[in-house]
Chains A and B, each alone.
Chain A
Amino acid sequence: MTTEPSSPRTAARAVDLTKIYGKDDTQVVALGGVTVEFAAGRFTAIMGPSGSGKSTLMHCMAALDSSTSGEVYIGDTELSGLNDKELTKLRRDKIGFVFQAFNLIPTLTARENITLPLDIAGRSIDKDWFDNVIATVGLADRLSHKPNQLSGGQQQRVACARALVSKPEIIFADEPTGNLDSRSGTEVLSFLRRSVREFDQTIVMVTHDPSAAAYSDRVLFLADGQIVDEMTDPTAEKVLERMKGFDSVGQQA
């Protein structure tokens, strides 16, 4: 795989990214030299068995965790050279993140949660863009509610809206539908899909669910800290088929 950016611009990339936890006896190689590119305006899904390093990859890419070696670029910025202040600023301005759970500040309303990154940065809110995002999320009538007055799906959609509203270069979502029933999950996924299609947003999402992966443009398969395969224009069936193959490979190994 070459690192030369191809026709669509690269929003983020990793070169030979290694993450090792612990030392000596208890050493775990969570990522064993991953080189990967995420093209701008594309929806990428990451799949793989539990413990394969998906979350670790997301955290390292999103400047939440440092890598052991290798390079991570957000746009053209290389992360390893940045100090805490610069990392904070980078997260605030260039990256959106959606966690599996606990995405919202309980004391703030949905609206305040959505505009939180902008408020923190002291940036003014682009009214049109905000309305646009809200309309897409479909939460216009719930904006003044506190998180505990919202359903799980609604909460995750608020979290997605928050990630979108600051127009980051890239959004990372770690199992955003992991806690949701299939209907709520569908709400969130179609919202992510639409934001890629309509707003040209770049999204990287970890999921265990083949039908969730089917919303993406491209699926990367991770196993034992390595990218072992990828698939473009996935469907649920194709992904499921591919995963079964994995499981047997994983068991043999």
Chain B
Amino acid sequence: MIRATLKSLAARKLRLAMSAFAIVLGVAFVAGSYVFTDTIDRTFDDIFGGLSSDVVVRPDLPGETDLFTGFATGTTTTIPAGLVDDVSALPGVERADGEIEDQSFFVLDTDGDVMTTQGAPGIAVNWHDGPNAEGDPVLQLVDGELPAGPGQVALDDRTFENSGYQIGDEVQFVSTGDEPRVSAELVGVVQFGESGSLAGASLSVFETRYAQELFLGGDDAFNRISVTASEGSSAEQVRDEISAILPGDFEALTGADVDEETASAIEEGLGFFNTFLLVFAAIALFVGVFLILNTFSILVAQRSQEMALYRALGAGRRQVTRSVLLEAFVVGVVGSTLGLLLGLGVAQLLKTVFGAFGLELAGGLVLQPRTVVISYVVGIVVTMIAAYVPARRASKVPPIAAMRDDIVSTESSRRVHLYVGGALTLAGAAAMAVGLFADVSDAALLVGAGIFAVFIGVALLAPVLAVPVLRVVAGWYPKAFGTVGRLARENALRNPRRTAATASALMIGMALVTAISIVGASANATVDKALDDGVRAQFVVSNAVGQPFSPAIAEQVSQVDGVDDVVSVRMSGGLVDGDQTFLQAFDPVAYSQAADLEMVEGTDELGPGQFLIGEDQAESKGLSVGDTVRLQLPGSDGEIELAGIYAQTPLLGGGVVVSQQTLEDGAVPPLDSMLYVIASDGADLAAVHEGLNTATADLPTVTVQDQDEYKQQSRDQVNQLLFLVYALLGLAVLIAVLGIVNTLALSVMERTREVGLLRAVGLSRRQLRRTIRLESIAIAVLGAVLGVALGLLFGVSLQRAIADDGLDQLAIPGGQLIVFVVLAAVIGVLAAVWPARRAAKLDVLRAITTE
């Protein structure tokens, strides 16, 4: 029996290839995601591993470190030079180097453009030659000289190479200081660490005194102390030794702890991407399971006569099942192996794409044993599971079936499908509802599981749903295409289970695309509405790279002719009653001139030590005017009082608003994130725009936008994210298309004799191709219709669920959805090309006499 199975496998290589194909794709995405994730991790571990010195002393910030660094504002709390001396005097300390670091100091290249990758920091530090924990220098001079005094700078080698500057040139910078524009003579080039990779950031190095002038207002102070332990002392000992003499608002950590913290913060930042990839891999695999299931069903159906013959010759049911499972195992192994290889390719591709965007991942790909194991387990297990159902069905093939051609699926199994499918759909919908609308902790997990269950449920129901849909989709075929149309319709309808299974792969892709497009359209509608209703200011000044900027800019802008008022908005993180919270700081009275802000209760006269909050948040937190909460900032820890409650606006999101003084008192650097510019009555807006552009001309990081441009930019941000999602979902649709090709080709092979007969009684090749094409279109449109319907459901409930979090406009992109269905029809045409050509090539006589 085993030999017979293997022989039959080997004899049908094409069949093997086609059924392995689905597995290859599914496994490739899983493997690709893991390999890429591991490669990212390795890269950051390399960059940050052993970066810090033995012990680091820094200001003690409340909450997690990235609560403040996340807004690139950090803290104004500094370490006085005297403390550096105290630390270096300790017996366990060999040396202590004061460090200055600024994260918003951007290098402009010779064309005056900002050099860092979108979102990456522009880092500036003071030079010192203290070693890292491994005793190696962190920075090495590779060209020129070290910056030795005011007006001198060294750049990292990557930035230097891309900038077009030569040593001796005057380099231009944009800073957040009082002088927004700085220039310095390039005297040297340094290399960071061993690889030199800064993951897209730029690094500018200055002499300490000059750095203090640039970043700390000339105080003899530092942001951090790097401590090197003397021979014989461990980092932990030295840390404890230093902690003992530190004032309360500073902390000492071992370098290893700091490095880990930094690396994991960055990995977390990229973590969404990994999650995204894995979710996508799950989708790919999920779609893949359908294809595999489908493929094996067809293969088994095709071989049911062979199976029946085995049974007639005395093979037991078990043997038949085992033979199918064995076949699945072989296919699974082959598919997983190829999938793993393809996965490496996928990871390499992603790495290249990342590199092209400036985020270079040094070194080769990381293939961990875990990835290999998971790939094989996933590939083989999925295939075996997918094969088990048809295998059991195969074992039930009665021996007399060897004599007959057609084996119809039993009524009872269809009823089981109906019940199980219905139950799963309902359970999934319930889980989604709970996750979306109730206040539970594992909401995302519930929603995910719910969507998964609904997918499977609907897929099980699909054979039942397919019949009425197909009657509509393909109902007009006979009228329009005569016999060819009737054949196509009947072929699509003859085995609803197979048709539905083929369509369900596309259904999933389409459902996701539809849901995303609804969320996207809603986000755009929400942004539009918020800006239409909410913004009265004629211009918005913001930073293109998402970094805050110097308050000096607000000063300059307010000098422009025709500008009536400038409202600055600052942002920071903070701990409110112990919860990490996003804070905005502005003068509410001025703000209400620029944008929508209506008080429901209390006053908008916001003083230091007070705050405002949105209606909904006040209600959910049970706050009323006069109540106090605890606010922790880098340099402060105290109670603030609720001064007023404002009507919910999408622009503010209902969050906490404090005065700018409150932030400054809390040692948050006084940097603006956004400026609303209000023009005077009757001012010539074009002239004002011109004036604003001139005022900010030497600051390429800052952009001036009128309302339309600002709206468009906000929309572009939403769309950019959408395109990324679409691109990946597009791959899911591609898998689905290949699935249709696969199934269609197999089912045409299954009908070889029928095709031969049709040709024998006079069907031309063209007519035959058209028949198959029409069938394919019906299947694809069926998948699209079911998918769009499901996607509508998902999209609308998703929008409803996050309506309170700001996405309060529901928009259904009707035109887009129609395009999806039309595209599906095109997909159907394309998917039919190969199977139709194959069928048309069949030799009539050969087809008729085929067994």
Contacts and interface: CB of A to CB of B under 8 A. Distances in A.
Interface in B799-851: 844-845, 848
Contacts of B762: 88-89, 91-93, 117, 120-121
Given A106-B754, A119-B483, A92 B761 contact: yes
Contact of A64 (B405, B754, B758, B844): B844
B765 A91 contact: no
B337 interface: no
> Which one of B491, B494, B758, B764 has the greatest number of beta carbons of chain A within 10 Å?
B764
A43 interface: no
Contacts of A85: 764
Interface in B733-788: 753-754, 757-765, 767
A108 B490 contact: yes
B844 to A, nearest CB: 6
B101 to A, nearest CB: 75
Interface stretch (A68-76, A95-103, A188-196, A227-235): A95-103
B761 A64 contact: no
Nearest to B408: A148
A84 interface: yes
A105 B764 contact: no
Contact of B761 (A89, A112, A117): A117
Given A102-B753, A105-B757, A105-B758, A112 B486 contact: yes
B607 interface: no
B220 interface: no
B198 interface: no
A116 interface: yes
B490 A88 contact: no
B476 to A, nearest CB: 17
Interface in B465-523: 482-484, 486-487, 490-491, 493-494
B406 interface: yes
A59 interface: yes
Interface string A46-72: 000000000000010000110000000
B760 A106 contact: no
A165 B493 CA distance: 27
Given A65-B845, A89-B762, A103 B757 contact: yes
A84 B765 contact: yes
B483 A107 contact: no
Contact of B491 (A107, A121, A148): A107
- Give the interface size bracket for B toward A: 20 to 34
A102 B845 CA distance: 13
Nearest to B844: A64
A162 interface: yes
A65 B405 CA distance: 25
B459 to A, nearest CB: 24
A116 B758 CA distance: 9
Interface string A102-146: 111111100010001101111000000000000000000000000
Given A105-B754, A107-B494, A120 B848 contact: no
Nearest to A112: B486
A105 B761 CA distance: 11
Interface of A is mostly: helix
A195 B617 CA distance: 90
Interface string A72-88: 00000000000011001
A46 to B, nearest CB: 18
B759 A88 contact: yes
A162 B762 CA distance: 12
B487 A107 contact: yes
A220 B487 CA distance: 39
Contacts of A105: 487, 754, 757-758
A91 B754 CA distance: 16
A92 B757 CA distance: 12
A244 B482 CA distance: 52
Interface string A149-187: 000000000000010000000000000000000000000
Given A64-B845, A102-B405, A120 B763 contact: yes
A122 B845 CA distance: 24
Contacts of A88: 759, 762-765
A29 B763 CA distance: 31
Contact of A162 (B405, B761, B844): B761
A148 B406 CA distance: 8
A99 B754 contact: no
A231 B317 CA distance: 52
Contacts of B405: 102, 106
A120 B757 contact: no
Contacts of A65: 845
Contact of A91 (B493, B494, B760): B760
Given A108-B486, A116-B483, A122-B482, A102 B757 contact: yes
Nearest to A117: B761
Contacts of A89: 762, 764
> Which one of B408, B490, B762, B845 has the greatest number of beta carbons of chain A within 10 Å?
B762
A59 B761 contact: no
B747 to A, nearest CB: 12
Contact of A106 (B494, B763, B764): B494
Interface string A212-241: 000000000000000000000000000000
B482 A97 contact: no
A108 B487 CA distance: 8
B471 to A, nearest CB: 14
B348 to A, nearest CB: 46
Contacts of A103: 757
A157 B764 CA distance: 25
A197 B403 CA distance: 34
A215 B545 CA distance: 94
Nearest to A102: B753
A147 to B, nearest CB: 8
Nearest to B494: A107
A116 B405 CA distance: 20
B486 A120 contact: no
A64 B408 CA distance: 31
B848 A99 contact: yes
Contacts of B406: 106, 148
A120 B767 contact: yes
A92 B404 CA distance: 28
Interface in B372-431: 404-406, 408
Contacts of B765: 84, 88
Contacts of B760: 64, 91, 97
Interface string B427-470: 00000000000000000000000000000000000000000000
A148 B754 CA distance: 14
Contacts of A107: 487, 490-491, 493-494
Given A105-B487, A108-B490, A97 B753 contact: no
A97 B757 CA distance: 10
A120 B754 contact: no
A62 to B, nearest CB: 8
A35 B408 CA distance: 47
A119 B484 CA distance: 9
Nearest to A146: B406
B647 to A, nearest CB: 64
Nearest to A84: B765
A26 to B, nearest CB: 17
A143 to B, nearest CB: 16
A79 to B, nearest CB: 14
A87 B763 CA distance: 11
9 contacts: A64-B848, A65-B845, A91-B760, A102-B754, A102-B848, A117-B762, A119-B486, A120-B763, A162-B761
- In the A-B complex, the 7 residue pairs with the smallest Cβ-Cβ separation, listed nearest first, are A92-B762, A107-B490, A119-B483, A117-B761, A64-B845, A107-B494, A65-B845
Interface of B: 404-406, 408, 482-484, 486-487, 490-491, 493-494, 753-754, 757-765, 767, 844-845, 848
Given A97-B760, A112-B486, 15 more contacts: A65-B845, A84-B765, A88-B764, A92-B762, A93-B762, A102-B753, A102-B757, A102-B848, A106-B405, A106-B406, A107-B487, A119-B483, A120-B484, A120-B762, A120-B767
